[in-house]
Amino acid sequence: MRYMVLVKATAESESGEMPESPEVFEEMNRFNEELVKAGVLLSGEGLHPSSQGARVRFSGTERTVTDGPFAETKELIAGFWILDVKSKEEAIEWVRRAPMRDGDELEVRRVYEAEDFGDALPEHIKEFEAEIRARAEAKRS
Amino acid sequence: MEVADTRERIDAARRSIDAVWRIESARLIAGLARVTRDIGLAEDLAQDALVAALEQWPRDGIPDNPGAWLMAVGRRRAVDQIRRQETLARKQQQLGHDLETRPPVGESAFESVEEDIEDDLLRLVFTSCHPVLSPEARVALSLRVLGGLTTEEIARAFLVPEATVAQRIVRAKKKLARADVGFEVPPPAEFAERLESVLEVLYLVFNEGYSATAGEDWLRPELCHEALRLGRVLTGLLPREPEVHGLLALMEIQASRSRARVGPGGEPVLLLDQNRGRWDWAQIGRGLAALERSRALTDSPGPYALQAEIAACHGRARRPEDTDWAAIARLYGALSRVTTSPVVELNRAVAVSMSDGPEAGLSVLEGVADAESLQGYHLVPAVRGDLLARLGRDGEARAEFEQAAALTRNEREREVLLGRAAGLAGNR
């Protein structure tokens, strides 16, 4: 199963300043390398501060765009990993080994897999699939 | 209340220990096997260390460096064990020497093991996939020592009784010890054959997971993830081997379709009918990247890389009609030359029919239909029926579909084939 590990923003990550010491980078590189060697890392990225992003709000047919930065730092995301692991505990065990700093917080969330849907596939997707199949059928005959 | 709390705490600790085990066990067994030269014994010692952890960690908490803790316990047990067994006197000397030249067991000993752990892991891979073992035994032992899966988990994933898997593993360990295969990366003369055996194990595990159907134990599809994970580990251990990257590419691209290949009613959806929007395009990207690495390493791709190339042709096509069938037909030709399998020729017949028309496909099919291994194989009349139907030779096509329906053992497939037969004009 896949887990997404969300890195919560901090005042520092929101400031866009790079960490001063090269050790921070080295430690993170070493951690990422461990994840790669263990075959569990699917992807991982760091995000620019929210000042370089935007939000789009949906209300009826209205779309309201608000540019960053956003105030509530603790609610923001500064980066993520996607890990392919066997259990939540394994994801947590990897996360415990991440070279984070005092006050940092990581959140572990499970990614939906095909098996999770089963019969719960929404009706409109079923219909969509049926239509695609019908079209493919028509093309062949 | 208090009892329940304690139980809950112990359960939580147990789950965390499982997770640590999953992460550390292969390295632990590999490091111990270097000392004992026997992966059966190394696995037993690692299990001893796990038992010790299960006793202590729920009480004292998980240590800061759980891997080092397990390794220290395992090595201590190794020393005890080997000293007790006089029959292993020669190994005791080796171990004695080993210990003299190493720092005492503990953090620092772990550091020195750490340096060569990649080599040890590679030895572990080659030993647990040793060709003296049957494929089933290799699969079970590898999932145990490389994947950190329990016997129960392996049994559930393969839909066999736990006792069967336990016995397979015990026998495999004995056989390896008897055959005295050692704990080495194979010499150049054996390397290709031994690597083939490793790749076969990974692909068997993958296919077992891929053949899982809805409603089965969730551990079955997990086998795909496990095969992929081990494939990624192997590309790290053997970065210069094109077929290792080729197999990873093949598995990634195949797995990318898992969401689309089963219909809402649980029925299989054929490749060309799949909703490509439900393919995992990030996974296809990872597969294509692995394929690029394989290509960069050789001009004469092996069977896994070629199959990955074929899968990639489909994976690159956003719509079925964008499929490069001529390229696929060429790739099946190349695959046919390296595998000499009539089934590959059968696939080539389909690809040729898509690029050059049903007549051309039919002539490829007739070149191979008499092959001994294809006798009684329902896909021969099924493909022939499809090609004949496309040529408007309905009567002949109908007879082929009916024959195919009689040959298949899959109920759902039979319905589909009879349906196609019934859909044709009955002028025979």
Domain count of the fold of chain B: 3
CA distance, residue B182 to nearest chain A CA (Å): 25
Whether residue B82 has pLDDT greater than 90: no
Q: Does residue B273 sit within a domain?
A: no
User: Is there a domain that residue B277 lies in?
Assistant: no
Query: Looking at the domain assignment, is residue B314 inside a domain?
Result: no
> CA A27 to CA A44: how far, in whole Å?
15
CB A106 within 8 A of CB A6: yes
Region B126-149 average pLDDT: 95
Q: Is residue B71 part of a domain?
A: yes
Q: Helix (H, G, I), strand (E, B), or coil: what is residue B86?
A: helix
| Rounded distance between C-alpha atoms, residue B417 and residue B406, angstroms | 9
Question: For residues B110 and B105, what is the distance between their CA atoms, to the nearest angstrom?
Answer: 7
Q: Has residue A139 got a pLDDT over 80?
A: no
pLDDT for B224: 93
pLDDT value of residue B2: 59
Residues of A in contact with B16 (CB under 8 A): 89, 92-93
Q: Is the pLDDT of residue A24 over 90?
A: no
- At residue B116, the pLDDT reads 78
Question: Are the CB atoms for B332 and B343 separated by under 8 Å?
Answer: no
Task: Of B106, B124, B133, B142, give the one whose Cα is nearest residue B38.
Answer: B124
DSSP letters, B141-193, are: HHHHHTT---HHHHHHHHTS-HHHHHHHHHHHHHHHHHHT--S-PPPHHHHHH
Residue of B18, B214, B286 lying closest to A89 (CB–CB): B18
B2 and B112 together in one domain: yes
Instruction: Please indicate whether residue B347 or residue A140 has the higher confidence score (pLDDT).
Output: B347
Question: How far are the Cα atoms of B13, B126, B274, B278 from residue A135, in angstroms, in the given order?
Answer: 53, 48, 11, 17
For B26, name the nearest residue in chain A, comparing CA atoms only: A38
Is B373 domain-assigned? no
Q: Is B233 in contact with A38 (Cβ distance < 8 A)?
A: yes
Chosen from A129, A131, A139, A141 to mutate, greatest number of chain B CBs within 10 A: A129
Phi, psi of B185 (to 5 degrees): -75, 130
- Percent pLDDT > 90 in chain B is 64
- Partners of residue B275 in chain A, C-beta under 8 Å: 128-129, 132
Query: What CATH class is the domain A2-110?
Result: alpha beta
pLDDT, tens digit (0-9, with 9 covering 90-100), for A65-80 = 999 899 888 889 999 9
Q: A117: which residues sit within 8 A by CB, 6+ positions away?
A: none
Task: List the single residue in B with minimal CA-CA distance to A85.
Answer: B225
A118:B215 CB<8 A: yes
Q: What does the pLDDT read at residue B13?
A: 85
Q: Pick A114's closest partner by Cβ from B236, B259, B275.
A: B259
User: Does B111 score more than 50 pLDDT?
Assistant: no
* pLDDT at residue number B42: 94
Give the span between the Cα atoms of B174 and B41, in whole angstroms: 10
Q: Is residue B421 domain-resident?
A: yes
DSSP H helices, B186-280, are 188-210, 219-237, 242-255
pLDDT of residue B88: 55
Lowest mean pLDDT among A43-47, A131-135, B229-233, B395-399: A131-135
Q: What is the ipTM of this complex?
A: 0.76
Residues A40, B229: C-beta atoms closer than 8 Å:
yes
For B181-228, the pLDDT digits (tens) are 889 999 999 999 999 999 999 999 999 988 877 667 777 888 999 999
User: What local confidence, expressed as pLDDT, does residue B205 receive?
Assistant: 94
Judged by CB atoms closer than 8 Å, whether chains meet at A84 and B228 is answered as: yes
Please list, in sequence order, all residues whose beta carbon lies within 8 angstroms of the beta carbon of residue B84, skipping any fewer than 6 positions away: none
How much is the pLDDT for B225? 92
Higher pLDDT, B94 or A86: A86
% of chain A at pLDDT higher than 70: 80
- Give chain A positions within 8 Å (CB) of B272: 136
Q: Which two tokens stand for residue B235?
A: 């590309």
Is residue B72 domain-shared with residue B136, that is, in the same domain?
no
pLDDT at res. B87: 57
Q: Are residues B152 and B210 in the same domain?
A: yes
Q: Say which range, A10-24, B169-183, B311-325, has the weakest mean pLDDT.
A: A10-24
Cα→Cα distances A115→A58, A85, B170, B376, Å: 31, 15, 33, 34
Buried b (16+ CB within 10 A) or exposed e, B92-116: beebeeebeeeeebeeebbeebeee
Nearest to B22 by CA among B145, B169, B109, B202: B145
- Strand ordering across the sheet containing A106-110: A41-46, A77-84, A2-8, A106-110
Residues in A whose CB is inside 8 Å of some CB of B read 1, 36-40, 42-43, 84-87, 89-90, 92-94, 113-115, 118-119, 121, 126, 128-130, 132-133, 136-137, 139
Who wins on pLDDT, A141 or A94? A94
Looking at the domain assignment, is residue B265 inside a domain? no
Q: Tell me how far apart the alpha carbons of residues B328 and B343 are, in angstroms, rounded to a whole number.
A: 15
- Chain center to CA of B91: 34
B175-203 per-residue burial string, b: 16 or more CB within 10 A, e: under 16: bbeeeebebebbeeeeeeebbbbbbbbbb
Radius of gyration of chain B (CA): 26
Does the predicted TM-score (pTM) go above 0.90?
no
**Which residues in chain B are closer than 8 Å to A131, comparing Cβ atoms?**
none
- Domain shared by B167 and B199, yes or no: yes
Over residues B283-335, the pLDDT tens digits come to 999 999 999 999 999 999 999 999 999 999 999 898 999 999 999 999 999 99
Report the C-alpha gap between A41 and A27 in whole angstroms.
16
Residues B68, B168 share a domain = no
Q: What is the pLDDT of residues B54-63, one digit of tens each?
A: 999 988 988 9
User: Which residues span the domain enclosing B42?
Assistant: 1-116
Give the chain A residue nearest B217 (alpha carbons): A115
Contact list in B for residue A139 (CB cut-off 8 A) is: 320-321
Section A34-49 average pLDDT: 94
Average pLDDT (B62-69) is 91
CA A118 to chain CA mean position, Å:
23
- Are residues B136 and B107 both part of a single domain? no
Residue B81 counted as domain residue: yes
